[in-house]
Amino acid sequence: MASTSTPKKIDEVRKALDILNSEGWTADQLMEGVTLLLNQHILKYNWVGFYMLEPGANPPMLVLGHFQGAMTPHTRIPLNQGICGAAASSGKTVVVDDVNNDPRYLACSLETKSEIVVPIFLNGKVAGELDIDSHFPAAFGAEDRELLEYCARIVGQRLERK
Ligand code: SME
pLDDT mean for each 10 residues of the chain (162 residues)? 67 94 94 97 97 96 98 98 98 98 96 98 98 98 97 97 82
List the 125-134 sheet strands across, edge first: 76-78, 61-68, 47-53, 125-134, 114-122, 94-96
Question: Looking at ligand 1, which atom is closest to the CA of residue 106?
Answer: 9
Ligand 1: which residue has its CA nearest to atom 5? 108
Helices 142-160, 27-41: axis angle to 10 degrees equals 160
Pocket probe for ligand 1: among 101, 108, 113, 135, the residue whose CB has the most ligand atoms within 8 Å is 108
Q: Closest Cα partner for 119 from 71, 50, 38, 55? A: 50
Pocket probe for ligand 1: among 61, 71, 77, 110, the residue whose CB has the most ligand atoms within 8 Å is 77
Question: Residues of 96-117 as b/e, b for ≥16 C-beta within 10 angstroms?
Answer: bbebeeeeebeebeeebbbbbb
Res 8: pLDDT: 80
Query: What residues are in contact with ligand 1 under a 6 Å CB criterion?
Result: 47, 49, 72, 74, 77, 82-84, 105-106, 108, 115, 131, 133
Question: Looking at ligand 1, which atom is closest to the CA of residue 47?
Answer: 7
Q: How many residues does the chain have?
A: 162
- For residue 116, list its beta bridge partners: 95, 132
CB 44 within 8 A of CB 1: yes
Calculate the alpha carbon distances from 156 to 29, 32, 72, 151 in Å. Answer: 13, 14, 24, 9
Res 1: pLDDT: 46
Residue type for 126, please?
A: V
Burial, 58: exposed, middle or buried (Cβ in 10 Å; 0-12, 13-18, 19+)? exposed
User: What is the 24 CA–ligand 1 centroid distance (Å)?
Assistant: 30
